[in-house]
Amino acid sequence: MKKIKLLGKEYDVNIISLDLVNEGLKEIPNLSAFTNLTELKLQVNKIEKIENLEGLTKLKYLSLSYNNIKKMEGLDTLIHLEELGLNFNQIEKMENLESLTKLKKLKIIANKIRKVENLNELTNLEELNLMRNEIDKIELIGELTKLKSLTLNKNKIQKIEGMQYLKGLETLDLSNNQIKTIENLTGLKNLRKLQLQHNQIESIERLEELHHLEDLQLDNNKIRKIENLKNLKTLKVLGLSCNQISKIENLDGLFSLTRLNLAKNQIHKIEGLTLSLHLNKLDLSGNRIMKIETLDALTNLEFLYLGENEIQKIENLAQLVPLKVLDLSGNRIKKIENLDVLGDMESLSLRANQIGTIENLEKLSKLNELDLADNPIVEVEEHDIPGHLKEANYELYLYFQKDRL
């Protein structure tokens, strides 16, 4: 069997996969003898130019990420290529891709691209990732009708546009841009996941036609009101943390909702959740809530985060039997109480409250993590600690200030 020496190693001439990652290469070596290659990994080198790939006509996967490449070239003969990675280079322009008609995945993350262009021939493309570039406008992607995933986060995009023909799109990431308005999404009938966090959006609007949407992320915007969501019957995950919302409302039609994040808003009261029967995870931390209330209907809730509020008493949790994680840190609670029915709870945080005594934990038989740091607990008596926590070496789970250990 014929062998070829390359970089001090011998390789079978008929190999189908070649790994030259982190070999200190300044240029791509002559690989013309490896005519059966279908996979070539050249990432983490010092390559400046794409060359010497002419004979690799069977290649399906090529990664040139983490190099010093400035120009897209030398790819013309790779007519069977299905996946191309050019992440973390210095590429300024998308070009010389017209021969790659079988390409399904294209990733050019963290380069210097300013314009989406020269993709018209890539009609089989399913995944396009251009995050962390300098793109300021969505354009020239209308021909990519098979596209399922489009990632454009961490660019300079100001407007949602140019995607009305992407009817097969399932995932769209436009987070970390400069978008002010939700618009021009009505044609995306198959969209499942929409990421718009870290923008400048002030209003939830124009989402009514996204009947298959399951995951909507709007965290870190300027939204003041929960609205215009009633048609999203399939929505399972909703992220609205770090906005300016003052009231929980208009969630009644979201019967499929399992995860809701409203952390770090301006909410004063727990309300508007009585029909969220399938909710499994609720985050209301970092608000202005004074009382635990109106959670009785959430009988599927397993994760409840109410830290950094103004709650004074542990109460109204009796119906939340499946609860596994409860975070009440950073409140004004003085007493551990009303937790007896939460027998499935595994993690309880009461850090930074006003608790003076460890008590009423005996029935929490599955509890394995208890955080009581930064409370005015003077001393810990042996009988204060439930037996199962002692057996689990409770010193690892009871986090007290060092001077009180």
Spatial distance between the Cα atoms of 117 and 371, rounded to a whole number of angstroms? 53
Give domain status of residue 232, yes or no: no
Give domain status of residue 75, yes or no: yes
pLDDT at 350: 97
Which residue is associated with the tokens 């001077």? Answer: 403
Number of other residues whose CB lies within 10 A of the CB of residue 206: 15
* Token reading at 156: 């300079």
Domains held by the chain: number: 1
Domain boundaries, position 58: 1-112
Helix (H) or strand (E) holding 84: strand 83-85
Average pLDDT of the chain to the nearest whole number: 93
Spatial distance between the Cα atoms of 228 and 235, rounded to a whole number of angstroms? 13
Give domain status of residue 42, yes or no: yes
Residue 62: which CATH number? Answer: 3.80.10.10
List CB contacts of 371: < 8 A, sequence separation 6 or more.
329, 348, 349, 350, 351, 397, 398, 399
Spatial distance between the Cα atoms of 104 and 328, rounded to a whole number of angstroms? 47
For residue 112, give the nearest of 88, 90, 84 by alpha carbon.
90
Give domain status of residue 313, yes or no: no
Number of other residues whose CB lies within 10 A of the CB of residue 379: 8
Task: Judge whether residue 99 has pLDDT over 80.
Answer: yes
Number of other residues whose CB lies within 10 A of the CB of residue 378: 7
pTM of the model: 0.93
The predicted model gives 281-304 an average pLDDT of: 97
Give domain status of residue 288, yes or no: no
Residue type, 13: V
Spatial distance between the Cα atoms of 252 and 377, rounded to a whole number of angstroms? 42
* HSE-CB for 320 with a 13 A CA cutoff: 25
Question: What confidence category does residue 66 fall into, taking pLDDT thresholds of 50, 70 and 90?
Answer: very high
Give domain status of residue 364, yes or no: no
Task: Judge whether residue 402 has pLDDT over 50.
Answer: no
Task: Judge whether residue 165 has pLDDT over 90.
Answer: no
Give domain status of residue 389, yes or no: no
For residue 323, give the nearest of 361, 285, 279, 353 by alpha carbon.
279
The predicted model gives 386-394 an average pLDDT of: 56
Spatial distance between the Cα atoms of 73 and 71, rounded to a whole number of angstroms? 6
**162-169, long-range: CB < 8 A, 24+ apart:** 162/137, 162/138, 163/138, 163/187, 163/188, 166/141, 166/142
Q: pLDDT higher for 197 or 32?
A: 197
Q: What is the pLDDT of residues 348-361, one digit of tens each?
A: 999 999 999 999 99
For residue 43, give the nearest of 78, 83, 99, 95 by alpha carbon.
83
Number of other residues whose CB lies within 10 A of the CB of residue 129: 18
The phi, psi pair for 142, rounded to 5°, reads -65, -25
Q: What is the pLDDT of residues 115-134, one digit of tens each?
A: 999 999 999 999 999 999 99
Strand 171-173, strand 149-151: pairing: parallel
Q: What is the pLDDT of residues 223-271, one digit of tens each?
A: 999 999 999 999 999 999 999 999 999 999 899 999 999 999 999 999 9
For residue 138, give the nearest of 113, 162, 168, 155 by alpha carbon.
162
Name the percent of the chain lying above pLDDT 70: 93
Give domain status of residue 66, yes or no: yes
